[in-house]
Chains A and B, each alone.
Chain A
Amino acid sequence: MHDIVFHDRSLVPVWDKVQRAERLTLEDGLTLYRSPDVIALGKMAHAVQQNRSGDGIYFVLNQKIEHTNICVLSCKFCDFAAKKGDPRAYEMTTREILAKLTPEIREVHITGGMPPDWPWERYLDIVRSVHSVLPGADVKAFTAVEIDFFHKKFRMSIEEVLRRLQEAGLRTLPGGGAEVFSERVRRLLFPQKIGAKGWFEVHRTAHRLGIPTNSTMLYGHIETLEERLIHMMRLREAQDETGGFLTFIPLAFQPGDTGIKPRDRFTSAIDDLRTIAVSRLMLDNFPHIKAYWVMLTEEVASVALNFGADDMDGTVGGEKIAHDAGAVSPMTLAKENIIRIIRDAGKIPVERDAFYNPVHLHGDRIVGQIPFLNSVPFYAHFEKGRFRLFPVVPRRMGILCDEGQLDAGPFSLMDYLAQQDRLELMGWTIANHREVKSVLLFSRVPWAGLEGGSIGITDDTATSIRLLQILLKKKHCVRSSFERLHAGVNDWSRHDALLLIGDEALRRRGTGIKGFPYVYDLAREWQEWQGLPFVFAVWARRRDLPPDAKEELDGLLARSVALSSRDFTAVGAAHGRRIGMSPAEVADYLGGFTFVLGEKEMEAIETFDRLVRELEEETTVHAHDARR
Chain B
Amino acid sequence: MHGADILRKARSGERISREEGLFLLGHAELLDLAETANEVRFRKNPERRVTFVIDTNPNYSNICNIDCIFCAFYRHPGDEGAYTHSVDHMIARFKEAAANGATTVLLQGGVNPSLPLEYYCELVERTVREVPAVYPHFFSTSEIIGMARVSGLTVPAVLSRMWDAGLRSLPGGGAEILADGVKKKISHLKGTSADWLSVMREAHRIGYRTTATMMYGHLEKDEEIVEHLDVVRALQDEQGGFTAFIPWSFKPGNTPLEKVIPHYATPVRYLQMISLSRIYLDNMPHIQASWFSEGKKTGQIALHFGADDFGGTLQEENVHAAANFVNKTNTEECIRLIHESGFAAAQRTTLYGILNVHPLTVPSE
**Residues of chain A whose beta carbon lies under 8 Å from any beta carbon of chain B:** 1-2, 4-5, 7, 33-34, 36, 38-40, 42-43, 46, 225, 268-273, 297, 299-300, 302-303, 305-307, 337, 340-341, 344-346, 383, 386
| 4 pairs of A and B residues whose beta carbons are closest in the complex | A268-B340, A269-B297, A344-B266, A299-B267
Pairs A–B under 8 Å by Cβ, sample size 20: A5-B11, A39-B305, A43-B31, A43-B35, A46-B29, A268-B337, A269-B297, A269-B341, A270-B341, A270-B342, A271-B364, A299-B298, A305-B268, A306-B268, A344-B266, A345-B268, A346-B30, A346-B268, A383-B2, A386-B27
Chain B nearest Cβ from A307, distance in angstroms: 8
Residue of A nearest to B26 (CB): A386
**Known A2-B3, A36-B48; contact A270-B364, beta-carbon cutoff 8 A:** yes
Residue of B nearest to A306 (CB): B30
**Known A2-B7, A299-B295, A306-B268; contact A225-B32, beta-carbon cutoff 8 A:** no
CA distance A340 to B297 in the complex (A): 20
Out of A39, A268, A346, which one reaches B35, CB within 8 Å? A39
Which residues of chain B (23-45) have a CB below 8 Å from chain A?
27, 29-32, 34-35, 38-39, 42
Q: Are A4 and B35 in contact (CB under 8 A)?
A: yes
Q: Are A33 and B268 in contact (CB under 8 A)?
A: no
Q: Are A270 and B301 in contact (CB under 8 A)?
A: yes
Q: Are A341 and B32 in contact (CB under 8 A)?
A: no
Residue of B nearest to A46 (CB): B31
Q: List 10 additional A-B contacts (Cβ < 8 Å) besides A5-B11, A270-B300, A345-B266.
A: A34-B363, A268-B340, A268-B341, A270-B342, A297-B295, A300-B301, A302-B268, A303-B271, A305-B268, A306-B29
CA distance A383 to B29 in the complex (A): 12
The answer to whether B328 has its CB under 8 Å from any CB of chain A is no
Enumerate chain A residues within 8 angstroms of B35, measured Cβ to Cβ.
Answer: 4-5, 39-40, 43
Enumerate chain B residues within 8 angstroms of A1, measured Cβ to Cβ.
Answer: 29, 31-32
CA distance A40 to B340 in the complex (A): 18
Enumerate chain B residues within 8 angstroms of A273, measured Cβ to Cβ.
Answer: 301
Chain B nearest Cβ from A57, distance in angstroms: 12
The answer to whether B137 has its CB under 8 Å from any CB of chain A is no
Out of A5, A34, A38, A340, which one reaches B304, CB within 8 Å? A38
Enumerate chain A residues within 8 angstroms of B300, measured Cβ to Cβ.
Answer: 268-270
CA distance A345 to B3 in the complex (A): 17
Interface size class of B (residues with CB under 8 A): 35 or more
The answer to whether B263 has its CB under 8 Å from any CB of chain A is yes
Enumerate chain B residues within 8 angstroms of A307, measured Cβ to Cβ.
Answer: 31
Enumerate chain B residues within 8 angstroms of A7, measured Cβ to Cβ.
Answer: 38, 42
Interface residues of B: mostly helix, strand, loop or mixed? Answer: helix
Enumerate chain A residues within 8 angstroms of B38, measured Cβ to Cβ.
Answer: 7, 39
CA distance A5 to B11 in the complex (A): 10
Out of B31, B268, B340, B363, which one reaches A42, CB within 8 Å? B31
Q: Are B297 and A36 in contact (CB under 8 A)?
A: no
The answer to whether B80 has its CB under 8 Å from any CB of chain A is no
Q: Are B269 and A344 in contact (CB under 8 A)?
A: yes
Enumerate chain A residues within 8 angstroms of B340, measured Cβ to Cβ.
Answer: 268, 270-271
Out of A2, A36, A272, A300, which one reaches B32, CB within 8 Å? A2
CA distance A225 to B340 in the complex (A): 15
Q: Are A299 and B31 in contact (CB under 8 A)?
A: no
Chain B nearest Cβ from A188, distance in angstroms: 18
Interface string of B264-302 (1 = CB under 8 A from A): 011111010000000000000000000000111110110
Enumerate chain A residues within 8 angstroms of B301, measured Cβ to Cβ.
Answer: 269-270, 273, 300, 303
**Known A2-B3, A270-B300; contact A302-B266, beta-carbon cutoff 8 A:** yes
Chain B nearest Cβ from A171, distance in angstroms: 33
CA distance A46 to B269 in the complex (A): 18
Q: Are B297 and A297 in contact (CB under 8 A)?
A: yes
Residue of A nearest to B296 (CB): A269
Q: Are A303 and B34 in contact (CB under 8 A)?
A: no
Enumerate chain A residues within 8 angstroms of B266, measured Cβ to Cβ.
Answer: 299, 302, 340-341, 344-345
Enumerate chain A residues within 8 angstroms of B2, measured Cβ to Cβ.
Answer: 383
The answer to whether B79 has its CB under 8 Å from any CB of chain A is no
Chain B nearest Cβ from A569, distance in angstroms: 25
Residue of A nearest to B342 (CB): A36
Enumerate chain A residues within 8 angstroms of B298, measured Cβ to Cβ.
Answer: 269, 299-300, 303
The answer to whether B234 has its CB under 8 Å from any CB of chain A is no
Most interface-central of A40, A307, A346 (chain B CB within 10 A): A346
CA distance A610 to B265 in the complex (A): 55
CA distance A40 to B35 in the complex (A): 8
Residue of A nearest to B48 (CB): A36
Chain A nearest Cβ from B9, distance in angstroms: 13
Enumerate chain B residues within 8 angstroms of A268, measured Cβ to Cβ.
Answer: 297, 300, 337, 340-341, 364
CA distance A300 to B269 in the complex (A): 13
Most interface-central of A1, A2, A7, A300 (chain B CB within 10 A): A2
Enumerate chain B residues within 8 angstroms of A46, measured Cβ to Cβ.
Answer: 29, 31
Q: Are B304 and A39 in contact (CB under 8 A)?
A: yes
Enumerate chain B residues within 8 angstroms of A40, measured Cβ to Cβ.
Answer: 35
Enumerate chain A residues within 8 angstroms of B4, measured Cβ to Cβ.
Answer: 2
**Known A268-B341, A271-B340; contact A39-B34, beta-carbon cutoff 8 A:** yes
Residue of A nearest to B4 (CB): A2
Q: Are A39 and B48 in contact (CB under 8 A)?
A: no
Chain A nearest Cβ from B46, distance in angstroms: 12
Out of B39, B263, B267, which one reaches A5, CB within 8 Å? B39
Residue of A nearest to B36 (CB): A5
Enumerate chain B residues within 8 angstroms of A270, measured Cβ to Cβ.
Answer: 300-301, 304, 340-342, 364
CA distance A173 to B291 in the complex (A): 38
Chain B nearest Cβ from A273, distance in angstroms: 7
CA distance A109 to B305 in the complex (A): 36
CA distance A268 to B337 in the complex (A): 8
Chain B nearest Cβ from A30, distance in angstroms: 10
Residue of A nearest to B267 (CB): A299
CA distance A501 to B27 in the complex (A): 35
Enumerate chain B residues within 8 angstroms of A42, measured Cβ to Cβ.
Answer: 31, 34
Chain B nearest Cβ from A349, distance in angstroms: 13
Chain A nearest Cβ from B120, distance in angstroms: 38
CA distance A414 to B32 in the complex (A): 40
Q: Are B31 and A39 in contact (CB under 8 A)?
A: yes
Q: Are A306 and B297 in contact (CB under 8 A)?
A: no
Residue of B nearest to A3 (CB): B4
Chain B nearest Cβ from A301, distance in angstroms: 9
CA distance A268 to B339 in the complex (A): 10
Chain B nearest Cβ from A78, distance in angstroms: 24
Most interface-central of B31, B266, B340, B364 (chain A CB within 10 A): B31
Residue of B nearest to A33 (CB): B365
Residue of B nearest to A34 (CB): B363
